[in-house]
Structure 1
């Protein structure tokens, strides 16, 4: 039976714009017929991967999402004394394992940039470098299928690749199914973006000159956001080639990052550094379920307290209808002085060890 670890978080954001749309305004959504502010799953996963709990707690076990593997390989070989032409030819051959390489523009040198982003694990980087060194030493480059098998891995020690998955369109055999699902976060109450009109002053402006040196505007918003994430512990262990202890470290890092990480859009303008005020972690084999239904009717009044109450009430109602959905749970409620993040992180790690 599969063990699922589910996280439900409520985080209060001040006026800010952490995740922008194509016009630079906060992303929005309509939920239950009411306008809400939203943060995309993609932006949240990027923030998790860039967070201190991931970078420090999982150092050496994080992948690199890039189009520039071939360029990096070539630059490393050239820095070690290889002829540029030979280095670039070898780098192109290896880089094609992860992505087609863009054709150079007319009259310009080869850029060695892939056409699509590839999520590359540290082990795959090491194998690519080793293969490049052998090719420089005169060994014949393997053919395509053999080359892919020498570099690509179906499972290894890259925790973020194991958690968030990857797709290699030309080589689906080496895709990784994501062990972690992250929902779009949205405000538990009605919320809309506001517009900020601002000016900048020219420091050398003469007193007799009128007007600002610059005029501008940008959007912002604030609110209590609900975020849901679900971890498939068994799949995480499988994606990490059976390394249960590394998977447990990953679950601990994920719990800490969910509570503390945030997309950094316009952070210098708004200094938003919120921490989750409420976090519920659950573990068990039953089918996962989010608690977003608690907020299809927007909460009102004391938004933080009303959001916590609505979330807990929805969990109770689902348990009453379907039976207990989790075998065990841990709660951190900052407002009530209940629980600690350390306890939730330890809970998530142990649930993976016991899976």
Structure 2
């Protein structure tokens, strides 16, 4: 089986603000002496793992990143008829397995966000039921019966997790996701907008009820992903079948090609599809093709020029270092290849 699956995508987004910085403007990066728009890997991964593409394929195999596991435990115990005070005490003790509790004695929340799989949630509820039933249990000593090093949570297997209070149950991410950057130079523009009070009469002043300003930009983004298929199977606890790993790779490929971050979508509706996808499999050391855009793409056909520049750079790398993969598949919008073919390619060993 090929150890690595690498995905390279070029996607055009119209004017939008999909991923904002601390000032509410589109995130950027200086690359090759030119300002580029940027989509952070964190924003991309959240959009993918909460997408319909993941839900449809990986139902019952998705974890939740939350501070509120304790509240779920509390609600579960109260619904079962447990006294609120005792239920709160139990919920806090069990929740402490996932992280440090907030200081308020009535709070069941933890300080950090914990990525929790469905099996771990079920185990936590079962432990709470045992404690509510009168068993003398030290939750800290039961951590190994709740936390898992491998299970069927596909998103945790892909993107990993860190548990500060129980690092032995951390999971190394099987997928590496780069920040997406535009292949060309960009300038962020400002949208000056107003809102009018619908109940204002013509006899009143003509001024707006609200004034605002929002930044936006547009461009062709290059996105690179590398997935360690062996680590993915290990994280999922799959030794032989590989069915869930294949479904996970398919869902990730489909989401990367079709799902955008949700930032300001109600204002810009920037729902795009990849113009170009290159999928590669092999045991060779992975390599990004971002170097193709160290020199910004220019001209009016930035999509076509971006595809050509990426292919040229890939050929140059292959000539200098040898083939970067054993097998490849391509989708060119308006040309060869389909998303289903790319997904099938990604899923096969």
Q: Smaller-chain TM-score range?
A: over 0.9
- In 2, Cα distance between equivalents of 1:330 and 1:248: 17
The 3-state SS of whatever aligns with 2:35 is strand
CA contact (8 A) 2:297 2:305 kept: yes
CA contact (8 A) 2:93 2:139 kept: no
Aligned to 1:308: 307
Which residue, 142, 167, 174 being the options, matches 1:172? 167
CA contact (8 A) 1:40 1:185 kept: yes
The 3-state SS of whatever aligns with 1:226 is strand
Aligned to 2:209: 213
Aligned to 1:88: 88
What is the CA distance between 1:211 and its match in structure 2? 1.1
- In structure 2, runs of 5+ residues without a counterpart are none
Aligned to 2:143: 148
What is the CA distance between 1:81 and its match in structure 2? 1.2
What is the CA distance between 1:192 and its match in structure 2? 2.2
CA deviation vs aligned residue, 1:119-162 (integer Å, no higher than 9, x gap):
00011001001111111111111352x31111010000000000
Within the alignment, does 1:325 sit opposite 2:321 as a pair? no
The 3-state SS of whatever aligns with 1:308 is helix
CA contact (8 A) 1:183 1:227 kept: yes
- In 1, Cα distance between equivalents of 2:293 and 2:39: 16
Aligned to 1:160: 155
What is the CA distance between 1:242 and its match in structure 2? 1.7
Within the alignment, does 1:132 sit opposite 2:131 as a pair? no
- In 2, Cα distance between equivalents of 1:183 and 1:149: 33
The 3-state SS of whatever aligns with 1:168 is coil
TM-score of the superposed pair, with normalisation by structure 1: 0.95
CA contact (8 A) 1:2 1:232 kept: no
Distance change in 2, residues 1:143/1:19 (3 Å): closer
CA deviation vs aligned residue, 1:316-344 (integer Å, no higher than 9, x gap):
11011111111001100003x21000011
The 3-state SS of whatever aligns with 1:314 is helix
The 3-state SS of whatever aligns with 2:284 is coil
Q: After TM superposition, where is structure 1 displaced by more than 4 Å over at least 4 residues in a row?
A: none
Aligned to 1:278: 276
Aligned 1:259-274 pairs, distance under 5 A: 259-274=257-272
- In 2, Cα distance between equivalents of 1:66 and 1:277: 35
- In 1, Cα distance between equivalents of 2:273 and 2:106: 45
- In 2, Cα distance between equivalents of 1:272 and 1:82: 48
TM-score of the superposed pair, with normalisation by structure 2: 0.97
CA deviation vs aligned residue, 1:199-242 (integer Å, no higher than 9, x gap):
11111222132211111111110000000000000000000012
Alignment coverage as a number of residue pairs: 345
What is the CA distance between 1:53 and its match in structure 2? 1.4
- In 1, Cα distance between equivalents of 2:157 and 2:308: 34
- In structure 1, runs of 5+ residues without a counterpart are none
Aligned 1:2-151 pairs, distance under 5 A: 3-104=3-104, 110-142=106-138, 144=140, 146-151=141-146
- In 2, Cα distance between equivalents of 1:124 and 1:151: 5
CA contact (8 A) 2:92 2:107 kept: no
The 3-state SS of whatever aligns with 2:24 is coil
